[in-house]
Structure 1
Amino acid sequence: MTTPNESLVMGSSLVSFGSSVSAGLRADVMDCLLYAQLSADKKYDRRQNWRQWIEQYQRVIYQKGSRISGALNPVQIKIQRLQDLRTVRYYLSGAATSPELQALLERSIDALMGSEHAKAFFSTWFVSGRSESMQVIPCEARADGGVNILVCGLQMTTSAFTSGFFFWEVPSGEMIVRSNGASFMMTEESYAPFRKPIARYLGAQARRVILEL
C-alpha cells in the first residue's frame, strides 16, 4: 500500500518522500536524519564550519546502516534573487543523481520556496555576510523494498548588499550558494541494529519541531 507524497521541514532539513516509500521506512529515515543532525551539531558549528558539519552529517548516515551509492559534484554559483534558488537544481550532477531523485528534488525545492517556512527563513537574507545552510533531502523507494536518500546540502552566504537609492526601492544583493552531498541506500534490515539505540537517544532529547508543509 502506498502513502501520499510528503514533504516535512525538520530542523534545517527539508525531507521529501515519494509515494511508494513505506511508513516504516519513512520513520526510520526521519529518525536517522535527526540523529545525524544532532550528532553533527555536537561536533561542529554549522555556520562557522559548514563543510565539516555536512560531511559529518553524511558520515553518521553511513555509519547507521546506509550504503553510499554516489556523490554530488560540488558546485558554487552566484544568484541575485531568492527566486534564483530554484535554478540550483540544474547545476547539480554526479553519480548521486537519478531521474527519479532529480524530479523529486525539483518538487522539493519548489515546495520549499512556496512555503511559509521559507519566507520566514529568508526574510532577512539581504544582510552582508549572513550565512545560512539547509539540507534538501528527497527520498525515493527502491525496487528491492529499500529507499534511496539524496542528501543535498546547501550553504548560502550573502557576499554583497546594496540599498536602493530611494527608500522604496527593493534592495539588491549577491548570494553565493555552495553544495555538498551524496546519495545513500537504506533498508529496514540494514537500519535494524540501530533502530532501538537511536530511538532511545532521541527519546532522551527534546525532539525538534517538525512542521508539515
Structure 2
Amino acid sequence: MTKNPAPPLAHGSARTEAPPTRALLLAGAFAGPLFYLSALVQTLTRPGFDLRIHPLSQLSTGNLGWIQILTFVLAGLGLICLSIGHRRVVTHGLGRAAIPVLVAISGTGFIAAGLFPQDPANGFPLGVADGPAADPTWHALVHMVAAIVAFTALAVAAVIALIRAIRERRAAAAVGNGIVALALLAPVVPEFASVQVALTGLLAFGWCTATAVTLLRSPRASR
C-alpha cells in the first residue's frame, strides 16, 4: 500500500520564516535615532545629569537606569538587524561579508554594554559622592570593554566602506566614511571624554542609519 505524498508547501511559505529584508533595514535605520532620542530626553529630565561630566552610559544607573539599559539593547538589536539586511542586499565587492559581521559584533557589544551597566559616580545619580567610583565593579569593566569593542568594530567597518567607495569612485560616500572612521579612531581627550564619546557615537549611529537608508533603495531590499 503506497503512502499518500506529503502536500506541497504553500507558495511563499518559506519566506514567512525569515523577517523581510526591508523590515530588518528599517530596524537598523532607526537604531541610532532611537538611542539618541532616548538619551536626549533622559539628559534633559534626569536631575543631576551633566553631559560635560557624565557619559551617556551613566544613565544606566539609578532607579530609572532600566530606560538606558533597554535603549542600549534595542539599539544593539537594530544593528544586528542591519547586519543581516546588509548581507542579503550586498552580494559582491569588498566588504560584502566583513562589514555585516563587524556591524553584528558592534550590535552585540551595545547589548552587552546595556546588560552590564556603569557604576554610579561623579554625583550621579543624586546622592552619590563626587568623583569616580573607588573600585570599579566587574560589570562596569565589562561595560567598558563592550563599548570599546562596539566602536572599534564600527570603525573597521567604516574603513572598509571607505576603501570600497574609493574603488567605486563614489566621492561623497568616501568622504562620509572617512569622517566616521577618523572620529571613531581618534584618541579620547580625558577633559572632554563624555562629550567626545557622545559626538562620536552620534556619527557612528548616523553612519549606520545612512547605510541602512542606502541599502533600502536597492531593488534587492524588496525581495
Higher strand proportion, which one?
A: 1
TM-score (norm 2): 0.28
Higher helix proportion, which one?
A: 2
Larger Rg: 2
TM-score (norm 1): 0.29
